[in-house]
Amino acid sequence: MEKEDWMREALLEAEKAGAIGEVPIGAIVVQAGKIIGRGHNLREATQDATAHAEMIAIREACEATGSWRLENAQLYVTLEPCPMCSGAMILSRVTEVYFGASDPKGGTAGTLMNLLTDDRFNHVAAVEGGILAAECGQILSNFFRELRERKKAARKKNTSNSLENKVE
């Protein structure tokens, strides 16, 4: 399978998050050509600040292999990882990290900094961004556009309700 095919699996995870109102980000961990961990963002559903797609996928992969060392593993994630998730990739020693869209606000795999290639830490991963970048970015921008539209409609409804109340 090509990198783009694996990223499509991460996108499927992102869609699962979006379907339940979570910011649509998805990740998978691959080892020896098999998916050993899957995750999608569950911050709101779980009210757990650490419930990012990558963390869930890494924890599932550790459980599946019975080891905290995910050597010779590839991680695919639809959005450039934050410091927490980049840190978890270093700790779990994944060999390669592929991400889709860049994150100008918090990306730490090349945008604000690159934690994954900083050789002061005790593991360095190979990083490649831009895999299916358009699709990975689009699912996020669609989500935030729809969120804004829903909020706008809710505000409009509230304003018209309060006007009606005043007339009554």
For a copy of itself, the binding residues (CB under 8 A) are 43-44, 46-52, 55, 58-59, 62-63, 66-70, 82-88, 90-93, 105-106, 108, 112-113, 115, 118, 120-122
Nearer to a copy of itself, 3 or 93 (CB): 93
Nearer to a copy of itself, 13 or 132 (CB): 13
Residue with tokens 């090349």: 110
Q: Is 52 annotated as belonging to a binding site?
A: yes
Q: Is 15 a catalytic residue?
A: no
- Cα–Cα distance measured from residue 154 to residue 17, given in angstroms and rounded to the nearest whole number: 23
Nearer to a copy of itself, 3 or 59 (CB): 59
- As measured in angstroms, the least distance from the Cβ of 53 to a copy of itself is 13
Among 22, 54, 60, 80, which one carries the catalytic annotation? 54
Catalytic annotation, residues: 54
Annotated binding site for Zn(2+): 52, 82, 85
